[in-house]
A and B are shown apart, each in its own frame.
Chain A
Amino acid sequence: DTAVSQTPKYLVTQMGNDKSIKCEQNLGHDTMYWYKQDSKKFLKIMFSYNNKELIINETVPNRFSPKSPDKAHLNLHINSLELGDSAVYFCASSRDPNYGYTFGSGTRLTVV
């Protein structure tokens, strides 16, 4: 009965590779998000989708491309991975900001 699930939990890959992280929510929420937590533990918004439409793109390099096939899924594809992309990526969803946000357990990406 996981609310927001992300796969994989861990991802180790070489520089220059392309990788994807998947996210699914079974809460019936309309809006989904990707956040990045860097080595200093700061969490920052990357993207926000509402009903499959992009509504926020916080100056993320265009090597990062989110894709929302339906409102329950928001995947993150990263091209030409760089060392600086190493971080923990969190998916989240919300019905309405008045009700708060629900986060997934995170994907730890390590680029070597």
Chain B
Amino acid sequence: KQEVTQIPAALSVPEGENLVLNCSFTDSAIYNLQWFRQDPGKGLTSLLLIQSSQREQTSGRLNASLDKSSGRSTLYIAASQPGDSATYLCAVDPGGYNKLIFGAGTRLAVHP
């Protein structure tokens, strides 16, 4: 049974720091992995999607890597800003089941 774990559960940093959020999954047979951002009381915004055959994806200050063999993904946020404050969710698509399995998220606070 696929399980997704995110570490740390919460993170508070000063503006300008580079951050790494971690996601691990127990079954390496995944279709893809997707990182989302959730703002309080709001929906989920897709940040990056990494296919199982890819190693990383980049969008602006965000970079996500995927190591299927070790069951890990990291989300790197460069030069963090207060506007980055949100909960970041990692989700894996186990393939063939039409569903995502989510981690519990990392709650990020970036203070000025």
- Are A43 and B98 also in contact (CB < 8 A) when A100-B34, A102-B46, A106-B43 are? no
Size range of the interface on B?
Answer: 20 to 34
Q: With A and B bound together, what is the CA distance between A58 and B102 in angstroms?
A: 14
Chain A residues closer than 8 Å to B45, beta-carbon distance:
103
Measured CB to CB, the residues of A under 8 A from B are 31, 33, 35, 40-45, 48, 50, 55-56, 58, 90, 92, 94, 97-106, 108
Cβ-closest 9 pairs across A and B: A105-B43, A103-B44, A45-B99, A100-B49, A43-B102, A48-B98, A97-B93, A106-B43, A103-B43
Q: Can you list 25 A-B contacts (CB < 8 A)?
A: A31-B98, A33-B98, A40-B104, A41-B104, A42-B104, A43-B100, A45-B99, A48-B98, A55-B98, A56-B97, A58-B99, A90-B43, A90-B44, A97-B93, A97-B98, A98-B51, A99-B49, A101-B34, A102-B46, A103-B43, A103-B44, A103-B45, A103-B46, A105-B43, A108-B41
